[in-house]
């Protein structure tokens, strides 16, 4: 009896001992596992913090001392891209198709502005040969820049999906090359143009009236047949000219900032230039479409001025009466032989 209870006690003691040894052997492992997972946790959260900081555009350390070499991701670059994609691209599409459609509708509803007394057949000198060269050099350079610029910005949406990769690569490389090399032609001709034509384009008080009667271009309602006073340039032409002055300047400066890598500008300045370039292009495209509509379709007899440099006398009297009166009075009126 005593033997069996001693046996049992011994068995329990051994079991207890085994348990204690087992626990003590297992405990360091448990601690190690705990340690491992907390290390992993720490590594994970420091990785996340690191990438959060990188994405927020924070700078780190780099032995390369070049501009922004210590910044992995430039935040401004991404923000600029978002603004361009969200606002600028749709704005350019509206500037092209919206303005064109608005004028097409206006043309069908209103019709062109006809010469009230028909063509006289007598042609009055209006622009010199050098003016014509200047206009067409600037216009062709500007239209080339607009076309290639639109390809560069929107081509990936409306050309790339429909052509092969090779052709697309060719189109975009040519667009970039032509865009870069037609810009000096535009800048120089634009500069000469604004200096040469500025004296003709100063606003006068009577220009207000021109705006009030929509330039006399409305063929119905209370404005029908109203031909407001106008000097060499009417108020609409002056508005176009000054828009070209302001946005031509902005587009030229921002374009130079973008095309000259040696300027080594900070990323923020390049992105600002890219956005200013896009906004200016949008405004100039919209105004150019209006300008071409007015010159070719909406003003009967207007196109002749930039083809031969002469305008019909009836056109001069109807659209630029103050200029006509002035050249007649001071004897500078010159007819075509």
Interface ranges with ligand HEM (CB under 6 A): 126, 135, 138-139, 142-143, 233, 237, 240-241, 244, 288, 291-292, 295-296, 302-303, 305-306
Which residue number, 181 or 220, has a Cβ lying nearer to ligand HEM? 181
CA distance 240 to 4: 116
DSSP string covering 138-207, please? Answer: HHHHHHHHHHHHHHHHHHHHHTGGGS-HHHHHHHHHHHHHHHHHHHHHHHHHHHHHHHHHGGGG---TTH
Establish how many alpha carbons lie within 13 A of residue 103's alpha carbon, considering only the half-sphere containing its beta carbon.
22
Minimum CB–partner distance for residue 134 and ligand HEM (Å): 9
Which residue number, 175 or 270, has a Cβ lying nearer to ligand HEM? 175
Minimum CB–partner distance for residue 274 and ligand HEM (Å): 21
Q: What is the DSSP letter of 228?
A: -
Q: In this structure, are residues 246 and 236 in contact, taking their beta carbons and an 8 Å threshold?
A: no
Which residue number, 210 or 241, has a Cβ lying nearer to ligand HEM? 241
Minimum CB–partner distance for residue 141 and ligand HEM (Å): 8
Which residue number, 210 or 240, has a Cβ lying nearer to ligand HEM? 240
Which residue number, 273 or 311, has a Cβ lying nearer to ligand HEM? 311
Radius of gyration (C-alpha) of the chain in whole angstroms: 37
Which residue number, 85 or 296, has a Cβ lying nearer to ligand HEM? 296
Element spanning 258, H or E:
helix 235-259
Bridge partners for 335 per DSSP: 124
Minimum CB–partner distance for residue 284 and ligand HEM (Å): 7
Which residue number, 80 or 237, has a Cβ lying nearer to ligand HEM? 237
Residue 17 is encoded by which pair of tokens? 């001992």
CA distance 275 to 269: 10
Minimum CB–partner distance for residue 218 and ligand HEM (Å): 19
CA distance 164 to 151: 16
Minimum CB–partner distance for residue 180 and ligand HEM (Å): 18
Which one, of 309, 310, 286, lies nearest residue 100 by Cα? Answer: 286
Region of 286 (left: φ > 0; alpha: ψ -120 to 50; beta: rest) is: alpha
CA distance 166 to 179: 20
Minimum CB–partner distance for residue 261 and ligand HEM (Å): 27
Minimum CB–partner distance for residue 244 and ligand HEM (Å): 5
Which residue number, 43 or 307, has a Cβ lying nearer to ligand HEM? 307
């Amino acid at each position: 009896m005593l033997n069996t209870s001693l046996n049992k006690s011994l068995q329990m003691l051994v079991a207890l001992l085994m348990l204690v040894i087992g626990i003590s052997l297992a405990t360091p492992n448990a601690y190690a596992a705990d340690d491992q997972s907390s290390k992993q946790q720490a590594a994970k959260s420091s990785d996340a913090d690191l990438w959060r900081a990188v994405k927020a555009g924070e700078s780190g350390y780099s032995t390369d001392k070049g501009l922004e070499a210590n910044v992995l991701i430039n935040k401004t670059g991404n923000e600029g891209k978002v603004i361009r994609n969200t606002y600028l691209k749709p704005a350019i599409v509206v500037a092209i198709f919206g303005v064109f459609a608005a004028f097409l509708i206006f043309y069908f509803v209103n019709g062109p502005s006809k010469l009230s007394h028909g063509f006289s057949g007598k042609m009055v000198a209006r622009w010199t040969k050098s003016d014509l060269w200047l206009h067409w050099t600037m216009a062709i350079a500007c239209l080339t820049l607009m076309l290639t610029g639109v390809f560069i910005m929107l081509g990936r949406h409306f050309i790339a999906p429909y052509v092969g990769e090779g052709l697309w690569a060719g189109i975009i490389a040519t667009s970039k090359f032509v865009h870069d090399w037609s810009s000096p032609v535009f800048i120089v001709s634009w500069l000469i143009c604004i200096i040469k034509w500025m004296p003709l384009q100063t606003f006068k008080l009577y220009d207000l009236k021109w705006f009030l009667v929509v330039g006399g271009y409305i063929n119905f309602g209370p404005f029908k047949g109203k031909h407001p006073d106008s000097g060499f340039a009417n108020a609409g032409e002056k508005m176009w000219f000054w828009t070209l002055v302001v946005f031509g300047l902005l587009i030229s400066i921002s374009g130079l900032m973008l095309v000259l890598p040696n300027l080594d500008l900070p990323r923020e300045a390049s992105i600002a230039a890219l956005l200013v370039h896009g906004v200016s292009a949008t405004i100039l495209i919209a105004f150019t479409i209006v300008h071409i509509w007015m010159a070719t379709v909406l003003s009967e007899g207007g196109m002749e001025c930039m083809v031969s440099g002469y305008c019909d006398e009836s056109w001069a009297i109807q659209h630029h009466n103050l200029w006509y009166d002035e050249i007649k009075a001071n004897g500078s009126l010159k007819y075509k032989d």
